[in-house]
Amino acid sequence: MKLVTLQRRMARAVMTPLTRTERMRPRTAAGGSMRAEAATFIKPNDRLTSFERLEIYNRQYWFRLLSSMIEDFAGLQAVLGSERFEQLCYAYLTDCPSRSFTLRNLGSQLTTWLKKHPRWLGAQPVLALDMCRLEWAHIEAFDGPEAPALAPEDLAEPGRPDFRLHLQPHLQLLSLQYPVDDLALAINDSAGDNSAAASNAVGERRKQRRVQAVARMKPRPIFLAVYRLENSVYYRRLQREEYALLAAVRRGLPLERCLVSAFRGSAMPAEDRPAAIEEWFHNLSLLGLFCRQPEDPDLRP
């Protein structure tokens, strides 16, 4: 047997989802005997069968990946419940196994995958999807690239018709329907309380109460910026017009057209707009969210 053949067979077995009791499945995906499959390439010893030796790796694989998913998507886990979330992870990781050298990217396809497989989103699909998008945005903001902030000298010709601004690559813009930013922070707080004093069960109940409170809310548009400042990730609510402006900047439109986009269909009185624009630019500049054009072509809009 060639090395690549052995590795394909072992990887197939190792990546097979565990049973509900967290053991290796007795049948392969093709319906054959897993014991027979293990025996073809793994030696037994005086204490463990070939199946049991392979099972150690099968369990390690899933424990490691599930643990990473729970760490990255604790909010989604709270929304769906632990058991449903675990089954979702098995299904997602079977369809989308890791194709990156780092576990950091394990959830990179989750939002897209959930849109294609909405049955995993549970009783509150919009809330669950909002939470998933927020948690992935958090990961991107945490260690995404940072370009030099825009300086006054970079604004030599802001009146030029084709003048363009650039946003920090780590800034993520989200259009949501539930206040998952507040919910995520509350869930994190519950986790903190839990480790300090209360039992797991108490912590879980507290999380569930918070999730239910948000789930009962009527969906409404919420616009959010997720960004990094001094190496901490922040969530900042945006006005609809401010969000539209930033989305247009992110698309690479000239500033003039960004401003047109910002107020398309807006109910904001015309006389209030100059002050609003000034305030947005002032705040966004203070946060360093405008930057010079990133040098890396991959980071350009």
* Chain contacts with another protein (rule: CB under 8 A): 1-4, 6-8, 10-11, 14-15, 40-43, 45-48, 50, 52-54, 56-57, 60-61, 64-65, 68, 97-104, 142-146, 169-170, 228, 231-232
What is the DSSP code string of 211-228? HHHHHTSPP--EEEEEEE
Residues facing residue 185 across a β-bridge: none
Task: Report the nearest approach of another protein to the CB of residue 46 (Å).
Answer: 7
Q: 41: how many CB neighbours lie within 10 A of its CB?
A: 14
Task: Report the nearest approach of another protein to the CB of residue 161 (Å).
Answer: 33
Judged by beta carbon, residue 3 or residue 275, the one nearer another protein is 3
Task: Report the nearest approach of another protein to the CB of residue 73 (Å).
Answer: 17
Tokens matching residue 30: 């093709």
Task: Report the nearest approach of another protein to the CB of residue 14 (Å).
Answer: 6
Q: Cα 183 to the chain's mean position, in Å?
A: 15
Q: 297: how many CB neighbours lie within 10 A of its CB?
A: 6
Judged by beta carbon, residue 56 or residue 213, the one nearer another protein is 56
Judged by beta carbon, residue 231 or residue 267, the one nearer another protein is 231
Judged by beta carbon, residue 99 or residue 119, the one nearer another protein is 99
Judged by beta carbon, residue 10 or residue 259, the one nearer another protein is 10
CA distance 102 to 105: 6
**226 and 233 Cβ atoms separated by less than 8 Å:** yes
Task: Report the nearest approach of another protein to the CB of residue 146 (Å).
Answer: 4
**119 and 127 Cβ atoms separated by less than 8 Å:** no
